């Protein structure tokens, strides 16, 4: 059964310049299906009717591909200003009864239902205002690092470009998947500022804002990093193709 009070935002607006292709990143195929189709298939097991896909680059092509398979709600991100801005574009479409918002990435095609259920159940049980899905990897380069203080308390998530030399050595990384209390998300989304090297609105900055407000934040570390491999390059696509066979998805 799906969760009646959970809305899902899937980020699918990016261009994916490192894919060396003009095609929108989420339209690249893994095991014969577009990455975005894999993600929505999993999302529908969690919240069948409350799925919002944020489109931007090649919006019509992405919509057309999704509409061949599913009926979802779309939000348009007219300018690709980062993940915080993308989520903001989807919030007005959220139904009033939605209590928690699950944020997924359209380029993480191997995510499994059981992992997302564990995330949502952990979030609800602990009554956290925000739960971050993390994983430990051997090579953390390219990922946002999970910076913990005393008692495993989350201080912030540092993007690679803004991380110090010490922070870059951290192996616990952000998967880009979150569960937010909707009221908290709506209260902090406008506080996110593009004060970084990319001049983008990072959703990860929202985590730091919530932390500074003293909100309860849970970091849930998942066991199998293969599930959350993000596909940013053609090599990543090959890796996802081999992992999908191993995971039996």
Does residue 126 contact residue 170 with C-beta atoms inside 8 Å?
no
What would the two tokens of residue 150 be? 């005393």
Residues contacting residue 109 through CB under 8 Å, at least 6 positions apart: 30, 35, 38, 39, 231, 240, 244
Angle formed at CA 205 by CA 233 and CA 212, multiple of 5 degrees: 155
- Active-site annotation holder among 18, 48, 79, 172: 18
Counted residue by residue, the chain has a size of 249
What would the two tokens of residue 230 be? 């993000």
Give the DSSP H or E segment for 244: helix 234-247
Query: Which residue(s) pair with 103 in the sheet?
Result: 9, 178
Angle formed at CA 139 by CA 136 and CA 145, multiple of 5 degrees: 55
Alpha carbon of 138 to those of 105, 157, 171, 200: distances in Å?
22, 18, 6, 28
Residues contacting residue 194 through CB under 8 Å, at least 6 positions apart: 81, 82, 200, 201
- Strand 51-55 relative to strand 73-76, pairing: parallel
Question: For this structure, is 18 an active site residue?
Answer: yes
User: Rounded distance, CA 206 to CA 154, Å?
Assistant: 13
Active site (catalytic) residues? 18
């Amino acid at each position: 059964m799906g969760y009646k009070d959970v809305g899902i935002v899937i980020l699918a607006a990016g261009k994916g310049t490192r894919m060396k292709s003009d095609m929108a990143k989420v339209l690249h195929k893994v095991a014969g299906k577009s990455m975005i189709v894999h993600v929505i298939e999993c999302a529908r097991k969690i919240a069948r009717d409350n799925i919002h896909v944020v489109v931007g680059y090649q919006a019509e092509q992405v919509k057309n591909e999704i509409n061949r398979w599913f009926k979802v709600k779309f939000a348009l991100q007219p300018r690709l200003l980062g993940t915080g801005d993308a989520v903001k574009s989807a919030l007005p479409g959220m139904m009033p009864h939605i209590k928690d918002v699950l944020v997924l990435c359209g380029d993480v095609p191997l995510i499994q239902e059981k992992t997302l259920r564990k995330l949502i159940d952990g979030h609800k049980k602990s009554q956290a205002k925000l739960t971050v899905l993390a994983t430990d990897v051997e090579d953390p380069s390219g990922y946002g690092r999970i910076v913990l203080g005393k008692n495993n308390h989350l201080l912030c998530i540092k993007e690679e470009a803004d991380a110090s030399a010490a922070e870059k050595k951290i192996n616990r990384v952000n998967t880009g998947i979150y569960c937010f209390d909707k009221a908290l998300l709506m209260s902090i989304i406008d506080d996110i500022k593009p004060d970084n090297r990319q001049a983008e609105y990072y959703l990860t900055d929202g985590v730091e804002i919530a932390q500074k407000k003293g909100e309860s934040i849970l970091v849930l570390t998942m066991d199998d990093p293969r599930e959350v491999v993000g596909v940013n390059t053609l090599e990543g696509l090959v890796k996802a193709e081999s992992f999908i066979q191993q995971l039996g998805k």
